[in-house]
Amino acid sequence: MSDQRNNGVAMRDSSSDERKTCFVITPIGSDHSPTRRGAEGILDAVIVPVLQDLQFRVEVAHRISAPGSITNQVIERLLEADLVIANLTELNPNVMYELAVRHAKRLPVVSVAESGTLLPFDVSDERTIFYEDDMAGVTELAPKLRSAVQAAMQDTEPDNPIYRAAEAKVMRDVAQNDFQRYTLDILNKVRDSIAELESRSPISTSLSDRRPKEVMYAQVELSGNEDLAREFIEALSSIVPYVEKTRIWSHRDDVTSVEVIIGSDHRLGSASVGDLLRQASEHASVDVNHFKAY
C-alpha cells in the first residue's frame, strides 16, 4: 500500500515503511490566522520538501487523521520519532512543552524560529536556525535546515538543558561518596569561570559591588555585529550604575543578541527598561530591533 498524504505530509498506514520518521512541532493558531499561515507556509515550502528529500516520513500534530487521543499521539511521536523539528516562533506554550518532552528523551532535535524571536534563557544556548518569513527566506532556510538535520542525525550524544540538569544530579550523587574532592573541583571551576568573565567583560561596575533594590533581566536584539553590541553595553553601563553582561551572540551578519542584567535603586518595569535601552542605543549609534525584559 502506498503512503496516504495530507497536504504533502505522509500519514501512517498499515504497510511497513523503512524511512526514518520526523515529527514537526509548531504553533498552529486558528484557521486563516497569521500564525496558521506562517506555520503552514514554512511547513509546505521548506520543512516537508527538505525532509522528504532526505528520505524522512514527516508528520505534524494538526495533520494527524488517525482516530484516538491527539495528546497521546503527540507524546508517542515525541518519544519515538527519529527526529523532531521544533518551530519556536511565537514561543507557543504547547511547542515549548513538547520540546521539553523531546529533550527528556535525549533524541535529535532541530529548532527553527522566525527572525526576531527572543528565545527564553533556558533554550537560548541551543542551536536554532533563524529565518525570514518571505520568499527569499525560504530559499535561505532550505540548505541550512538540510545541513542541520544531517548534523543532528550524526550526533550520537545530543545535548540539551534537561540532560545537563540530569547529568548534574548524577554528579551530586557521586559527590556524596567524595564530598570534599567534588566541592573543591566545583569551586575551582567557579573561580576559573569568574576570572574568565572578568577578563572579557568591558564593564567596570558589577552588581556584586553594591546590591540594587530592583533588578531586571533583558534580552535585546540589535542591528550590528558583536563589536557594536559591546559598545551598546558600555553605553548602557554609563547610563545605569548596575549592569551585568551575561551573553552576546550573533544570529546573522547584521543581527546580534545581548543578554544583560540591569539593576537600579528605583523601581524598574518593562517601559523604563525600554527607555534605558533606547538611550544606550542612541549613544552607541545602534538600532534596537526587539527587547524583552522581566
CA 161 → CA 48, 74, 135, distances in Å? 27, 21, 33
**75, 2 contact by CB (below 8 A):** no
Dihedral of CA atoms 98, 44, 118, 281 in degrees, nearest 10, equals 180
Q: What is the mean pLDDT of residues 270-277?
A: 82
pLDDT at 146: 94
Q: Which amino acid is located at 125 in the chain?
A: D
Angstrom distance (rounded) from CA 159 to CA 123: 11
pLDDT attached to residue 120: 77
Amino acid at 96: M
The highest-confidence range among 72-86, 211-225, 232-246, by mean pLDDT, is: 72-86
* Shared fold status for 5-162 and 214-293: no
Q: Alpha-carbon torsion 259, 147, 39, 78, what sign?
A: negative
> Of residues 9 and 18, which shows the higher confidence score?
18
Distance CA 109, CA 126 (A): 10
Q: Where are the domains of the chain?
A: 5-162, 214-293
Assign 13 a pLDDT band (cuts: 50, 70, 90). Answer: very low
Using the predicted structure, report yes or no on whether residue 287 has a pLDDT greater than 60.
yes
CATH topology of domain 214-293: Alpha-Beta Plaits (3.30.70)
The pLDDT value given to residue 209: 46
The confidence score (pLDDT) of residue 293 equals 76
Whether the predicted pLDDT of 201 surpasses 60: no
Q: Looking at residue 149, what is its pLDDT? A: 94
pTM of this prediction? 0.52
What's the confidence (pLDDT) of residue 204?
40
- The residue whose grid cell reads 533588578 is 215
The whole-number average pLDDT for the span 274-281 is: 86
Give the pLDDT score at 66.
Answer: 61
Neighbours of 250 (CB within 10 A): 14
pLDDT, tens digit, for every residue of 55-108? 999 999 887 766 555 677 888 899 999 999 999 998 888 898 898 888 888 889
b/e code 36-61 from CB counts within 10 Å (16+ = b): bebbbebbebbbbbbbbebebbbbbb
Please give the Cα distance from 219 to 293 (Å, whole number).
6
Cell numbers standing for residue 174: 557521586
Q: Which fold has domain 5-162?
A: Rossmann fold (3.40.50)
Q: DSSP code of 46?
A: I
Closest CA to 256 of 219, 281, 221, 227: 221
Number of H helices, E strands in the chain: 9, 11
Mean of pLDDT values over 14-20:
66
User: Looking at residues 117-132, what average pLDDT do you find?
Assistant: 78
